[in-house]
Amino acid sequence: METLPASPPRKRRWPLAVGVVVVLLAVVGVFGTRALYVRTFDSLVDTTRAAEGAQVWKDFFVAQDCFIDAVIDDGDPALAFNEGLTLLDETDLLARHVDFSLASIADVSVLPWHRNLAAARESIGAHYEVWQAHLSEAVAALSGLDSDPVVLAAQFQAWVDVVLAAAEAIESTFNDSESAFQLAALDDSARQEIDALFTPSEVECSRGAV
């Protein structure tokens, strides 16, 4: 009986196929993670821009400057009293905006391993928490303003003390937030966007301007 020649051994291709699949999954994972990172970064930036760019900030700082001008430059108790009441209203409105912004920032979902994003969200949240505490004290200092010049002068000084006490923490947490956002940015375009976001606008009292 004639013996058939042995079949050549078949090459096992499955290890190569598995290797290709693993590589493809790794590539998809890297790009997918980066895309998710970018979306989260954009969401955090958009939320922060909405918080920082609200008109209530400008109205607050203008009212603050007008109150100071009325007391220091004009020396007009009646005007100072009216400007103080306006500032109280604007301070209360800003406090509500800060409360809302804090909740919005906390709602931005960040994956645990996106540490730079988590640090950026934490830093801007800390900045707004400082503002939250300060505005609460400022509202208390401005509440019950008295038109009597002597009483009003004392109340003005109490408000100034509140402002000065919070100034360093407000500035330092603002700078920390900018640094954290810059660290979280992935490219020069994003870093320029952050630079613009954290560049303060100059405002001043426009009362009497022509």
Overall average pLDDT of the 135-140 stretch: 98
180 contacts 123 by C-beta, under 8 angstroms: yes
List, for residues 57-114, the tens digit of each pLDDT value. 999 999 999 999 999 998 899 999 999 999 999 999 999 999 999 999 999 999 989 9
- What DSSP string runs through 67-93? HHIIIIIS--HHHHHHHHHHHHHHHHH
Full-model pTM: 0.83
So where are the chain's domains? 15-197
- Work out the pLDDT band at 20, boundaries 50, 70, 90: very low
